[in-house]
Amino acid sequence: MLKQQRADHVRQRLAELYPETPIPLDHQNAYTLLIAVLLSAQCTDVRVNQVTPALFKLASDPNKMMRVPVDRIKAIIRPCGLSPRKSAAISELSKILVEQHAGQVPADFAALEALPGVGHKTASVVMAQAFGVPAFPVDTHIHRLATRWKLTSGKNVTQTERDLKKLFPRDTWNRLHLQIIFYGREHCQARRCNGKSCLLCRELFGKN
């Protein structure tokens, strides 16, 4: 298969396997999604979902969160790892949202990426899932699968994002981001698939 043929096959197969794409991080609004995505850095979604109920019971909007002592935030989110850095970022970005954005999460890439603890991937998730703006958040897992499926030769997530955006229709990006994550977790894990054993890898490369 040519690269575009592989991309088309991946898109079709994932649509069949995952017609519904629920957001794996529990949240109530754009702010709580932002915080949950920030917490998910180097942490599983399952662990984040175990931690956020207590955090959001304490404060579920930036006005309340900015008044919570950083040490109290840190104590709650400690199971997610990197708690000193993440708690400081949560406190600071909450203040910025109140002071510069009227307490609202901005639907703007540049404004999001200017917030403490918010990189391009986090901003992309929020833009895609909270505001419905086409984006293709690429983390290390999506990068791994895109490389395994030979959809990119990129050496980093930035190049992989550019390559995937060229291969897939813009109106599928938000859905595909989640479908690839779901598939990787269920079928094509780093240590359980050698690039030829899971369903998609067999279909793409099994006869090569």
Q: Which residues are identified as catalytic?
A: 121, 139
> Cβ neighbours of residue 89 under 8 Å, at least 6 residues apart?
38, 115, 116, 117, 118
- Indicate the Cα dihedral angle 35, 40, 45, 51, nearest 10°: -60
How would DSSP label each residue in 11-53? HHHHHHH-S----SS--SSHHHHHHHHHHTTTS-HHHHHHHHH
Distances (CA, A) of 37 to 74, 99, 102, 115, 165: 16, 22, 21, 13, 22
